Amino acid sequence: MAYKRSGGGLETTRQAAKFLGVSVLSGVVLAGIALPATGALGLSAKGTAADFNALPGELKRPPLSQATKILDAKGGLIATVYSRDRTSVPLSDISPTMQKAIVAIEDARYWQHGAIDAKGILRALNSNAASGGVSQGASTLTQQYVKNVFIEEAGDDPDKVAQATQQTVGRKIKELKYAIQVEKELGKQQILENYLNITFFGEQAYGIQAAAQRYFSTDAKNLTLDQAALLAGIVQSPTRYDPINDPQEAVTRRNTVLKRMAELGDITRAQATEAQAKPLGLKPSTPRNGCITAVNGAGFFCDYVRETFLNNPVFGKTREDRAKLWTTGGMTIKTTLDPQAQQSVEASIQKHVYETDSVATAVTLVQPGTGKIVAMGQSRPYGFGQNQTQINYNVDHSMGGGRGFQSGSTFKPITAAAAIDGGTDPNTVYPSPYSMPYPSPVNTCGKPWVNTDGSTLSNEDKSEVGPMNMQKATALSVNTYYVQLISNIGVCPVTQMAQKMGVHRADGHQIDQVPSITLGTQEVSPLTMAAAYAAFANHGVYCSPTAIESITDANGKPVAVPQTSCAQAMSENTASTLNTLLKGVVEDGTGRQAGLSDRDSAGKTGTTDSRYAAWFVGYTSNMAGAVWVGSPAKNLSMTNITIGGVYHDKVFGADTPGPIWKDAMSGALVGTPAGTLPTVPLAGSNPPNGNQNPSPNPGDQGKGKDHGHGGNPLPWPTISLPPGLLDGGQNGGNGP
């Protein structure tokens, strides 16, 4: 009797399927044919039928895990991330030959039978009854699809996967019930499409599109006959028939599929013979998954995007909810990363610091007024190999970073902002000796801080002595001036200003209420400092960092994303005053090696005790950036050291981070308007160089220890001197 392979099938088949469905629902088939198996489960025939009827009819199909694409601000691909490499495609984008091949080898009577193949299940039940177990399968393609849904739902949980794949009559009964419902809901065409998109083809490839890419570097719609036969043959045992690991076994299996297709009339015998004679013709694509594949050194930024997603309640109430959504994937995430800025950062890093150096560098650039992170990179690549790391030195511990690094004198402008915003005249002069004990007591937000152990501090060079005003002290990074300043205004206004500028410790703890914070004793991240300095460029308005512009889900539907939060951290006049002070740093002070020649720039150098870290943080009207150089383990003093092929007897913020910042910013800003920074005139606006030539070492070393809380402000004398007395009247400090 001839069988038609499309349409509803022969009347005898329909009657058999109908009879089988009625029999199962009434318990007749299970009672009569499958009795040995149900007995082995300890169930009566009546109970099995009742259990069958009690099963819910609606199969909850989880969304298929798919690859998520992370794009830069221009739409370029940064990386593809997935828990399962899959790109779902409609049936119209799957080669008809592939559709025929999978049906031929997995369920030849697919288009004739319903959810259950009457002939197949009767044949299998007879065989299983004789063996007392499940020795022969008769799952239809629909039932296989149902099983794959259960496997997909199990995810990476090994126990759930085992339950979804266990060879028991109970599981078969469950599959059967759901298969009946699925056929009613979806129909043959949709089931075939779903099956081809959910099935595992080995080599990390889930779904036919990923398989076509993995083995042949082509799309599912372009698969040829021999290629389609090979992929269809893999499904039964992806490990055994893996063409990469065992090409001969794969050829044998492919030829079996081709033979079956010819027997069923899908292809001619001649076509089968021709295809069987062909070599495998593999053109495999290496799986590229995760942030380790990111381009232009953007692996750490990619990881930051992932951490942003997992940590932000915008994407789900709990971290578990957010992780599930991330794992499901299928999203297109457009980020704030500017490819030009990122390339510039990478080029500067590679020029100045080698990945094999004993120290590392990290660089972050942000956009004032928007908080957009436009570049993020570091000298040690993202990865697991030698000289590689997965710790993002640019960000906080909670976002995939370390515990942060002491910021050195780059914290001083925050103290200056707090003082000026609170009414302190920037022309205020302090004695600023070369060395001095920490003042005590000093007001804090709570109990006054007291210098209980007689701690002292000093400037970088003995030539750095006062009296001097804030402009000279900032340009030359004079420690004693800033400690005298914070002792007069108190610690609390400084920590409050830091909070308004988004400055916080990278380890999540509160900033210590101690006067030494003005010298940068608190450990922070480069991203934190870049965003803080952006407020000076943005008229005193701080904007929280943001990395994600937009997201669409697997169906192209927009997903809500977190927005930057902007607020006035200081008055516009205070911000303009800081611009004046920090322009002086790059024009006449410690940061001259970082200054840009084609536009207004401002910034501050910083070097910590024992030279474990050196910084430059600076900005223009339209970009701010922070550069850290140091030992990630914080145990290597940067003296007598070679970095990027250049020897340093001592590393300062000016001589290594400064040039990195300059080169990174110069390339990032190509093609952008120069812009100007608003400033205010200050008395004695040109800080004195003193009676000696500037030395090559900047006075920017942060000193001091973190002590307990303490006391009332020490009434340091402030001196109002005419500018002429300062200009050239004192010993000069250190140059850049």
407-420, pLDDT tens digit by residue? Answer: 999 999 999 999 99
According to DSSP H, which parts of 265-409 are helical? 269-276, 299-311, 319-328, 339-352
pLDDT at residue 31, rounded to an integer: 34
pLDDT, average across residues 489-493: 97
| Rama region for 294: left / alpha / beta (φ>0; ψ in -120 to 50; rest) | beta
According to DSSP H, which parts of 370-411 are helical? none
Give the separation between CA 12 and CA 2, rounded to whole angstroms: 12
Residue 719 has pLDDT above 80, yes or no: no
In a domain, 669, yes or no: no
pLDDT tier at 385 (50, 70, 90 boundaries)?
confident
77: helix, strand or coil = strand
pLDDT tier at 695 (50, 70, 90 boundaries)?
very low
Give the separation between CA 26 and CA 4, rounded to whole angstroms: 30
SS3 content of the chain, % helix, strand, coil (to 5): 40, 15, 45
Report the interhelical angle of 208-216 vs 225-234 (nearest 10°): 110
pLDDT tier at 53 (50, 70, 90 boundaries)?
low
In a domain, 736, yes or no: no
pLDDT tier at 685 (50, 70, 90 boundaries)?
very low
What b/e string do you get for 225-257 counting C-beta neighbours within 10 Å, with b at 16 or more?
A: bbbbbbbbbbbeeeeebbbeeeeeebbebbbbb
Average pLDDT of the chain to the nearest whole number:
84
pLDDT tier at 55 (50, 70, 90 boundaries)?
low
In a domain, 335, yes or no: no
pLDDT, average across residues 632-650: 94
Among residues 138, 160, 137, the alpha carbon closest in space to that of 150 is found at 160
pLDDT, average across residues 134-138: 47
pLDDT tier at 5 (50, 70, 90 boundaries)?
very low
Task: Give the bridge partners for 332, in sequence order.
Answer: 69, 552
Among residues 627, 624, 619, the alpha carbon closest in space to that of 644 is found at 627
Q: In this predicted model, what pLDDT tens digit does every residue of 541-554 receive, in sequence order?
A: 999 999 999 999 98
CB 149 within 8 A of CB 124: no
CB 605 within 8 A of CB 588: no
Question: What's this model's pTM, rounded to 2 decimal places?
Answer: 0.77
Give the separation between CA 365 and CA 340, rounded to whole angstroms: 12
pLDDT at residue 689, rounded to an integer: 39
Tokens of 338: 């500017």
CB 462 within 8 A of CB 480: no
Give the separation between CA 40 and CA 163, rounded to whole angstroms: 18
CB 710 within 8 A of CB 444: yes
Among residues 616, 608, 592, 611, the alpha carbon closest in space to that of 650 is found at 611
Provide the 10 A C-beta neighbour count for residue 328: 21
Element (H, E) at 335: strand 332-335
Q: In this predicted model, what pLDDT tens digit does every residue of 120-132 receive, in sequence order?
A: 666 666 655 555 5
- The label of the residue with tokens 């914080």 reads 634
Residue 686 has pLDDT above 90, yes or no: no
pLDDT tier at 172 (50, 70, 90 boundaries)?
confident
Q: In this predicted model, what pLDDT tens digit does every residue of 74-103 receive, in sequence order?
A: 999 999 998 888 889 999 999 999 999 999
Alpha carbon 386 to its chain's center: 21
Among residues 607, 578, 604, the alpha carbon closest in space to that of 591 is found at 604
- Please confirm whether the linkage preceding 467 is cis (ω < 30° from 0): yes
In a domain, 571, yes or no: no
Residue 8 has pLDDT above 60, yes or no: no
Long-range contacts of 256-264 (CB under 8 A, 24+ apart): 256/105, 257/101, 257/104, 257/105, 257/229, 257/230, 257/232, 257/233, 258/225, 258/226, 258/229, 260/104, 260/105, 260/108, 261/100, 261/101, 261/104, 261/105, 261/229, 264/5, 264/104, 264/108
In a domain, 203, yes or no: yes
pLDDT tier at 688 (50, 70, 90 boundaries)?
very low
CA atoms within 13 A on the CB side of 52: 28
pLDDT at residue 735, rounded to an integer: 31
CA-based angle 377:379:384, to the nearest 5?
Answer: 95
CB 94 within 8 A of CB 198: no
In a domain, 257, yes or no: yes
Number of domains present in the structure of the chain: 1
Among residues 544, 681, 538, 565, the alpha carbon closest in space to that of 621 is found at 538
Give the separation between CA 563 and CA 371, rounded to whole angstroms: 9
The DSSP output letter for 442 is B
Residue 341 has pLDDT above 90, yes or no: yes
- Please confirm whether the linkage preceding 63 is cis (ω < 30° from 0): no
pLDDT at residue 692, rounded to an integer: 31
- Give the length of the chain: 736
pLDDT at residue 64, rounded to an integer: 82
pLDDT at residue 664, rounded to an integer: 98
The proportion of the chain whose per-residue pLDDT surpasses 70, expressed as a percent, equals: 81
DSSP-derived secondary structure for 591-659? TGGG--SSS--EEEEEE-GGGSEEEEEEE-SS-EEEEEEE-TTS----EEEEETTEEEEE--TTTTHHH
In a domain, 181, yes or no: yes
pLDDT tier at 47 (50, 70, 90 boundaries)?
very low
Q: In this predicted model, what pLDDT tens digit does every residue of 432-476 receive, in sequence order?
A: 999 999 999 999 999 999 999 999 999 988 999 999 999 999 999
Give the separation between CA 347 and CA 345, rounded to whole angstroms: 5
Give the separation between CA 426 and CA 415, rounded to whole angstroms: 12
Q: Residue 152's domain is classified under what CATH number?
A: 1.10.3810.10
In a domain, 178, yes or no: yes
CB 449 within 8 A of CB 513: yes
- For residue 245, give its domain range: 11-20+86-276
pLDDT at residue 125, rounded to an integer: 61
